[in-house]
């Protein structure tokens, strides 16, 4: 049952107070990658008859202390924007610390970037929602949970899920056998991933996806867009199984250590030995394990697309360097900066598997900084 929310009234009330356009190549949005930040936002866009429907979730300990407004502008470096004057908004969920709303945008608007500005008297932040995926339209289908609410994540951690938007759906299944991301100093490879399809099949409203695979779901074989979903264990974005813990720690290892761990007859013993040999005492090893796998969980939460977040380029840099201090965006790139001097650029492309794939611009000069960071982690400095 839908109900009107006080939060929505706040949204409407503050539309008239926006001023200048937002140039995201100059506005720092690093808060979006800070898992401890008090506000979290996520969204999904679907195609509907009237235009685009945006599902937007806002999580915060105290929603009422923030003021919100919606802006539309033509891009990430726009000179001007306009305030939304008319908008159909429904509240799908309103519980303590969480609101899920549905916004319908008409198909005839000229702008391709929706900006949510949320503020307090002393500070303000921006959340960007790109309304374009190249020349394609957004899919008209999407997964829902047991309560019929849209699933906004790029992963499903349950055996079955329901889908809406059509009577039947085409699922294309691919094995999730990606290796860890290539290191920053490695040679550049083709930006778009090449993956062979495992199988395809048609299902009705209920899907039963297998762990260890990701799926591209479309209305039918003629559809040009779809939804990519990674099937993960129930405890994801955490990792608990020994095989998961071993695989995701390989950024820390030398090639010799990696070969030794992966070929060990007793994986548990090999895993424990690595942490004990690296950190000398049980207490230091326990602390290092806790800290490292918190980073893994954060990357899975932030960056998962058609593969787990820790395997992505952004996930790798996040693990090695931590959350960026500054983040700037354009339509085609994202730049990360750290206070200690490190800087990284990610090229943004649209692929068959994801509307936005972020690929690190690698070069040999990044090697020294990477090894310095890994050394600091292994010495317990970071």
- 291 near 279, Cβ under 8 Å? no
Across 84-108, b (16+ Cβ under 10 Å) vs e yields: beeeebbbbebeeeebbbbbbbeee
Antiparallel, parallel or unpaired: β 206-208 and 199-203 = unpaired
| Predicted local confidence at residue 16, as pLDDT | 41
Alpha helices in the chain (DSSP H): 6-13, 242-248, 255-262, 267-279, 282-303, 313-321, 367-378
193 contacts 118 by C-beta, under 8 angstroms: no
Q: In angstroms, rounded to a whole number, what is the distance separating the alpha carbons of residues 25 and 54?
A: 24
For each successive 10 residues of the chain (382 residues), what is the average pLDDT?
41 45 94 96 95 95 87 88 73 93 89 92 93 84 95 93 95 93 87 83 94 95 94 97 94 91 92 94 95 98 96 98 97 96 94 88 96 95 88
276-291 b/e with 16+ CB inside 10 Å = b?
Answer: eebbeeeeebeebbee
Residue 68 CB partners (closer than 8 Å, separation 6+): 7, 10, 11, 14, 116, 117, 118, 119
**Element containing residue 228 per DSSP (H, E):** strand 227-231
What pLDDT, on a 0 to 100 scale, did the predictor assign at position 85?
63
Q: How many helices (H) and strands (E) does the chain have?
A: 7, 20
Q: CA 174 to CA 168: how far, in whole Å?
A: 20
Give the model's pLDDT for residue 87: 65
What was the pLDDT predicted at 21?
A: 81
Q: What pLDDT, on a 0 to 100 scale, did the predictor assign at position 350?
A: 84
Residue-level pLDDT at 7: 47
- Give residues with Cβ within 8 angstroms of 107, minimum separation 6: 50, 51, 52
Q: What is the pLDDT of residue 243?
A: 94
Q: Give buried/exposed letters for 142-180 (b at 16+ CB in 10 A, else e).
A: bbeeeeeebbbbbbbbeeebebebbeebbbbbbebeeeb
DSSP one-letter string for 311-339: GSHHHHHHHHH-S-SEEEE-SSEEEEE-T
> What is the reported pTM?
0.92
For residues 178 and 195, what is the distance between their CA atoms, to the nearest angstrom? 9
Q: DSSP characters for 121-164?
A: TTEEEEEEEE--BTTBPPPS-EEE-TTSPBP-SSEE-SSEEEEE
Domains of the chain: 6-130 (2.60.40.1200), 142-231 (no CATH), 242-378 (no CATH)
Report the C-alpha gap between 59 and 52 in whole angstroms: 23
Residue among 356, 348, 347, 327 nearest 339 (CA): 327
Residue 200, H or E segment: strand 199-203
């Amino acid at each position: 049952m839908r109900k009107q929310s006080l939060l929505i009234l706040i949204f409407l009330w503050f539309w008239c107070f926006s001023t200048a356009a937002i140039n995201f190549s100059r506005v720092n949005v690093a808060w979006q990658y800070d898992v401890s930040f008090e506000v979290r936002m996520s969204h999904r866009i679907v195609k509907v008859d009237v235009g685009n429907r945006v599902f937007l979730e806002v999580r915060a300990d105290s929603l009422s202390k923030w003021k919100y407004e919606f802006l539309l502008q033509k891009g990430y470096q726009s000179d001007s924007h306009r305030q939304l004057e008319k908008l159909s908004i429904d509240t799908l969920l309103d519980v303590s610390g969480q609101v899920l709303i549905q916004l319908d945008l008409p198909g005839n608007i000229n702008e391709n970037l929706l900006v949510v500005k949320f503020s307090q008297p002393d500070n303000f932040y921006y959340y960007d929602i790109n309304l374009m995926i190249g020349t394609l339209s957004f899919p008209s289908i999407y997964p829902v949970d047991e309560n019929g609410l849209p699933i906004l994540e790029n992963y499903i951690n349950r055996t079955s899920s329901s889908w809406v938007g059509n009577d039947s759906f085409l699922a294309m299944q691919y094995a999730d056998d990606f290796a860890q991301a290539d290191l920053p100093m490695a040679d550049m490879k083709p930006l778009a991933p090449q993956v062979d399809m495992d199988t395809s099949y048609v299902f009705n409203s209920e899907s039963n996806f297998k762990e260890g695979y990701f799926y591209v779901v479309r209305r039918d074989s003629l559809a040009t867009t779809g939804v990519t979903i990674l099937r993960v264990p129930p405890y994801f974005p955490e990792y608990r199984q020994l095989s998961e813990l071993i695989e995701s720690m390989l950024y820390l290892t030398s090639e010799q250590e990696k070969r030794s761990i992966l070929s060990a007859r007793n994986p548990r013993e090999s895993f424990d030995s690595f942490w004990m040999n690296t950190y000398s005492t049980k207490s230091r090893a326990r602390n290092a394990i806790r800290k490292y796998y918190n980073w893994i969980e954060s990357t899975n939460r932030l960056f998962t697309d058609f593969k787990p977040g820790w395997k992505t380029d952004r996930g790798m840099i996040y693990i090695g360097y931590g959350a960026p201090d500054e983040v700037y965006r354009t339509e085609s790139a994202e730049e990360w900066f750290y206070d200690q001097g490190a800087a990284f650029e990610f090229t943004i492309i649209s692929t068959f598997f994801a509307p936005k794939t972020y690929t690190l611009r690698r070069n040999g000069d990044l090697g020294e900084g990477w090894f310095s960071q890994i050394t600091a982690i292994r010495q317990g400095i970071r």
